[in-house]
């Protein structure tokens, strides 16, 4: 849930990038960080508990306008991709305002995408969230690689909630900012509709 800092006149919102191991979650965050003006960002932080790069815990606030006279700042987080780190995933999901599910478009990764989505649904439910009520965007990443599933196949397998979705190649930034803008707008719409 959004946190209001009255002293700084800011609303802080949390976006979590979720998905299978090595699907592009960290690459998305790194791209956004590189493209955000230095004065508008904090340091990019990583908590390494294992040499795996998917275990990075990234933090980045972004200004995107005002709600009722308060500036809106977004904090971006990634979860570890491996299921064995489910406790970390659950902890990172606490207090979220929106989710970007980053799927790996490669055909051989479809089962891992489906498993990661089921894990997200289960973890949200255990924390009292309804996935249909949380701003969610799906990103079909790695579209530049050979042997990728069609967008229609990916939608059928992963987008049963009919949420906004984007094709992406996060390594070159394709689809990264569009994905973030869409989830951000959805969060702002939700906040404006509620009691901020």
Domains of the chain in start order, with CATH, are: 3-177 (3.40.50.300)
Q: Is 39 exposed, middle or buried (0-12, 13-18, 19+ CB in 10 A)?
A: exposed
Residue 29 phi/psi, 5° resolution? -60, -45
Structure tokens at 138: 């799906």
Q: Which helix (H) or strand (E) holds 73?
A: strand 70-78
Q: What is the pLDDT of residue 67?
A: 77
pLDDT, one tens digit for every residue, the chain (196 residues): 777 877 877 788 899 999 998 999 989 998 988 887 676 667 777 666 554 443 344 445 565 667 777 878 888 888 877 766 788 888 889 999 999 999 999 999 999 999 999 999 999 999 999 999 999 999 999 999 999 999 999 999 999 999 999 999 999 999 999 999 999 999 988 888 865 5
Cα–Cα dist 178/150, whole Å: 20
| CA atoms within a 13 Å half-sphere pointing along the CA-CB vector of 47 | 9
Predicted TM-score (pTM) of the model is: 0.89
| Longest Cα–Cα distance in the chain | 52
Break the chain down into helix, strand, coil percent, rounded to 5: 40, 25, 35
State the pLDDT at residue 55: 39
């Amino acid at each position: 849930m959004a946190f209001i800092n009255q002293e700084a006149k800011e609303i802080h919102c949390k976006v979590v990038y979720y998905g299978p191991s090595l699907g592009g979650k960290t690459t998305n965050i790194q791209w956004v960080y590189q493209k955000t003006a230095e004065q508008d960002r904090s340091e990019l932080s990583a908590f390494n508990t294992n040499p795996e790069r998917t275990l990075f815990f990234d933090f980045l606030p972004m200004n995107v306008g005002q709600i009722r006279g308060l500036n809106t700042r977004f904090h971006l987080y990634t979860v570890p991709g491996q299921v064995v780190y489910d406790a970390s995933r659950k902890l990172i999901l606490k207090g979220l305002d929106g989710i970007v599910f980053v799927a790996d478009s490669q055909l051989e990764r479809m089962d891992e995408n489906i498993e990661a989505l089921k894990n997200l649904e289960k973890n949200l439910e255990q924390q009292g969230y309804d996935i249909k009520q949380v701003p969610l965007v799906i990103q079909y990443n790695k579209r530049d690689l050979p042997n990728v599933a069609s967008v229609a196949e990916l939608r059928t397998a992963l987008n049963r909630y009919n949420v906004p979705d984007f094709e992406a190649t996060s390594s070159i930034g394709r689809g990264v900012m569009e994905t973030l803008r869409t989830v951000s707008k959805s969060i702002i719409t939700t906040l404006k509709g509620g009691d901020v």
